[in-house]
Chains A and B, each alone.
Chain A
């Protein structure tokens, strides 16, 4: 017996007698052939009481430097937005935390209605009529959009902007190698997808085109122009969007985007070292029956009362098996619930206010940082929450370490993913970073660069 099981000796005796065996081992012996039985104890540490497990996990937590411990400007796909207290409360409720997927709709109305509301919110945000109930996370949502295109038009070529998140490009490549599509990458020019190279790459064999808004360097792309370049091709236009700036940025549905996907972490989900979060997946009406994943729909019950069910399930693996539109089973229900609660908490005006605040503070931060000696903007494009700098002539990783030693995480070293930007630093803002925090960053980064320069001079000398 453990803390989570309840079979006493008396229970055991009665249960074995009811079954008609003399021991639990007999139940295994009559099923598992002797040659594959383990026959020894698992080589794992002994179990611990709750308070000791807590202590151990707390010790591990203490070995990490979280966004609670430093002023962080690290983004690059996940962002330290404030998660409102109501989300902790609602997600902690047993009724949302512990059920499984709504196979029995009569007792899953809370979950199903939340999905329906989530779909409505995503649809509003993206300006696209159709949203599913969420998928795993951002980059695999991009890859799933690729699979949708493969099934929809069968064309073998994917045109991908280099401004798409490196993890999305990698994930798409992994999936595409399986289902059979070739990837052509279009370079960046002046911080955005090179429009000429983009147009040139798209042809009659192009099954899908992929870009990111804002792109990985933080630049706002001309989404309508990118989509328009594909309009005479069979290509599905896929945009990976950051949902937060959609309060102020033209929605993909108004730009000619067919499928809008993205990382939902910024909508009320914690950083959690990368997951779990959710991926959103919205599309034009034409792709409704090709969508991956769960979709909640409205109906009525036996007495004519409004209710919700999982619908269009003939797309899904448990019914269509090898002909399914995806192998995805469920959704990220709890994380997507956080998403719709967050959007409700922000509200119609709040999302706009948040976007405007980030726009202003981002501009302030970029303007202040490029005043530093040896710091230039990597591009001059409009930015809304993140921007790229060039720290010419210094080791960016070393500069970051110096800043972190001073309690500030200045951002992400672009050189890790972009060999063309070996001195690039990607700086992100959220509403949790005030003007005072930005001013601290300016000071700390300036000092770190100066220190790194003089250290470099000493080494050279």
Chain B
């Protein structure tokens, strides 16, 4: 067996050396240095008395009995006891057990893993932004308010919906805002509407949000082309419907050609139309939700506007709405005064649904996304969407060229917007490997796999979103890797079935974790 290069998690994965691993079981000690390095938490390291923190000196007269014993903690929290070098080494080593976008291709469908410019980290770290207290007086936070005002205007222009609130903390939070706005809109008209229509292709957050907002989900079917089934929509749209939540292009990567008709059906029964902005990266500068008839849209600043994903947060989910939804927006509102100064108005929207969180939203994300918009301008944003769509269609074509299409056919239609869904059903039937196996084998090739098993209505789904920031060479390499894995599976499906081999740990037993949950380090 060859020596495996473990300097990097991905780099050269030593695939050839591993092809026999299904025959020669990898020893419990592991094949790579990283695998042999058993996971040890920070709570299992260090020794009593070690510390990284030196408290500032007590510079005031010490007074006893300031806190009654009954309110006092009796035993300290058993936090780690490590020196700063130990701390640094522990977390740096942990970091090396992650795959990340800066190192490799990350075509995770629906997540828009585009490059995160480091300029954004630099400007967000300027003390005037990073150390600004959220309750600083408006006259002393003019730069922040101006930035937020400008970002609101830009998002309004991109979406075609002029009234923006930056407050929601994530896409899911923006959805909740949207559904609560819808509720307020109907209540204001003396109407009780409890049904929200969502297509069966929708993100799971849509139905979960609807329930949280005290409403009921009614599913709408998908037609053979991957769009909304209009007959089903007509049958279900009546005056008990509050809203239709839609993603367009949808999670199949298909732009619904009937959008104008859909909007008409929904508006004719007095309901609102909600746009899930998860796929906005496909249409910036090309089409706008507001022009399609949507009333509310949420943005994922961590997708289209390149706030780094941070391993799963932070995100930011501003919303933009039409004129008729405006009175219900969240307070406080940023206002521009006649003299050009900015203010925060706690009562800016009279019929506001209220607050959805503390303070003004994830300002640090606003700084990054605003910097991105400043860098690209309208033309650059349009270029981003054009290139995202070009890259997705090119990757799809390359896969077809490699003869992948018969094992992994496109689930709907014959083209795509910025992402596409393949079905692994033929691959599973003919080669005996599931989409999950393909995904795990891709890890050995140094790629993060696409989204798997979503959308739910596609059997063995593989949702691929390359984004605009990848080079043609990267797309070529990925298409070749998929082709290679399929060829390999034709010869021996066990290789993919037992993959991965080169990652810090091998395939993990998720059932066991759920059956007897261990969710914290036991301490002696």
A316 and B74 alpha carbons, distance in the complex (Å): 37
Q: Mark B35-65, 1 if CB is under 8 A from A, else 0.
A: 1001101110000011111011011111100
Contacting residues, chain A, for B30 (C-beta < 8 A): 303, 305
Contacting residues, chain B, for A396 (C-beta < 8 A): none
Binds B, one of A12-20, A193-201, A228-236, A444-452: A12-20
Q: Determine how close the nearest CB of chain B comes to the CB of A53; give it in whole angstroms.
A: 5
Q: Determine how close the nearest CB of chain A comes to the CB of B435; give it in whole angstroms.
A: 13
A337 and B316 alpha carbons, distance in the complex (Å): 18
Q: Determine how close the nearest CB of chain B comes to the CB of A21; give it in whole angstroms.
A: 8
A15 and B396 alpha carbons, distance in the complex (Å): 11
Q: Mark A292-303, 1 if CB is under 8 A from B, else 0.
A: 001111111111
* Inter-chain contact B133/A74, CB cutoff 8 Å: yes
A287 and B130 alpha carbons, distance in the complex (Å): 36
Contacting residues, chain B, for A360 (C-beta < 8 A): 58, 60, 62-63, 66
A341 and B52 alpha carbons, distance in the complex (Å): 11
B146: CB under 8 A from chain A? yes
* Inter-chain contact A110/B97, CB cutoff 8 Å: yes
* Inter-chain contact B292/A167, CB cutoff 8 Å: no
A219 and B504 alpha carbons, distance in the complex (Å): 48
Q: Mark B498-524, 1 if CB is under 8 A from A, else 0.
A: 101001111111101110011111010
* Inter-chain contact B106/A90, CB cutoff 8 Å: no
B389: CB under 8 A from chain A? yes
Task: Find B517's partner among A59, A271, A311 (CB 8 Å cutoff).
Answer: A311
* Inter-chain contact B98/A99, CB cutoff 8 Å: yes
Contacting residues, chain A, for B81 (C-beta < 8 A): 347-349
* Inter-chain contact B84/A324, CB cutoff 8 Å: no
* Inter-chain contact A273/B359, CB cutoff 8 Å: yes
Q: Determine how close the nearest CB of chain A comes to the CB of B203; give it in whole angstroms.
A: 8
Tell me the number of A-to-B contacts counted with CB atoms below 8 Å: 716
* Inter-chain contact B208/A301, CB cutoff 8 Å: no
* Inter-chain contact B313/A333, CB cutoff 8 Å: yes
B269: CB under 8 A from chain A? no
* Inter-chain contact B353/A174, CB cutoff 8 Å: yes
Interface size range on B against A = 35 or more
Find residues 347-372 in chain B having any chain A CB closer than 8 Å to their own CB.
353-365, 367, 370-371
Contacting residues, chain A, for B130 (C-beta < 8 A): 66, 270-272
Contacting residues, chain B, for A63 (C-beta < 8 A): 128, 141-144, 146
A280: CB under 8 A from chain B? no
Contacting residues, chain A, for B84 (C-beta < 8 A): 86, 345
Q: Is the interface of B mostly helix, strand, loop or mixed?
A: loop
A215: CB under 8 A from chain B? no
* Inter-chain contact B73/A28, CB cutoff 8 Å: no
Task: Find A248's partner among B28, B62, B67, B311 (CB 8 Å cutoff).
Answer: B67
A177 and B249 alpha carbons, distance in the complex (Å): 32
A119: CB under 8 A from chain B? yes
* Inter-chain contact A27/B169, CB cutoff 8 Å: no
Find residues 91-108 in chain B having any chain A CB closer than 8 Å to their own CB.
91-92, 94-103, 106, 108
A101: CB under 8 A from chain B? yes
Q: Determine how close the nearest CB of chain B comes to the CB of A410; give it in whole angstroms.
A: 12
Contacting residues, chain B, for A343 (C-beta < 8 A): 79-80
* Inter-chain contact B377/A45, CB cutoff 8 Å: yes
* Inter-chain contact A107/B504, CB cutoff 8 Å: yes
* Inter-chain contact A272/B364, CB cutoff 8 Å: yes
A61: CB under 8 A from chain B? yes
Q: Mark B95-136, 1 if CB is under 8 A from A, else 0.
A: 111111111001010010111110101111111111111111
B158: CB under 8 A from chain A? yes
Q: Determine how close the nearest CB of chain B comes to the CB of A429; give it in whole angstroms.
A: 11
A44 and B49 alpha carbons, distance in the complex (Å): 57
Q: Determine how close the nearest CB of chain B comes to the CB of A137; give it in whole angstroms.
A: 6
Contacting residues, chain B, for A44 (C-beta < 8 A): 154, 157-158, 373, 377-378, 381
Task: Find B39's partner among A53, A308, A347 (CB 8 Å cutoff).
Answer: A308
Q: Mark B445-476, 1 if CB is under 8 A from A, else 0.
A: 00011011010000000000000111110000
Contacting residues, chain B, for A301 (C-beta < 8 A): 505-509
Task: Find B35's partner among A171, A305, A314 (CB 8 Å cutoff).
Answer: A305
A348 and B76 alpha carbons, distance in the complex (Å): 7
Q: Mark B435-451, 1 if CB is under 8 A from A, else 0.
A: 00001100100001101
B376: CB under 8 A from chain A? yes
Q: Determine how close the nearest CB of chain A comes to the CB of B500; give it in whole angstroms.
A: 5
Task: Find A66's partner among B42, B127, B472 (CB 8 Å cutoff).
Answer: B127
Beta-carbon nearest neighbor of B140 in chain A: A65
A189: CB under 8 A from chain B? no
* Inter-chain contact B505/A307, CB cutoff 8 Å: yes
A15 and B471 alpha carbons, distance in the complex (Å): 11
Contacting residues, chain B, for A54 (C-beta < 8 A): 119, 122-123
Q: Determine how close the nearest CB of chain B comes to the CB of A32; give it in whole angstroms.
A: 5
Q: List 11 A-B contacts (CB under 8 A).
A: A43-B378, A44-B378, A48-B374, A49-B375, A60-B144, A97-B121, A97-B310, A110-B95, A177-B354, A350-B51, A357-B58
Beyond contacts A3-B117, A114-B94, A335-B314: 14 other A-B pairs, Cβ-Cβ < 8 A, are A2-B380, A28-B286, A38-B286, A61-B126, A61-B143, A97-B116, A100-B108, A105-B505, A106-B440, A116-B41, A273-B360, A321-B207, A333-B310, A344-B79
Query: Which 3 residue pairs of A and B lie closest in terms of their CB atoms, listed nearest first?
Result: A61-B128, A274-B359, A334-B310
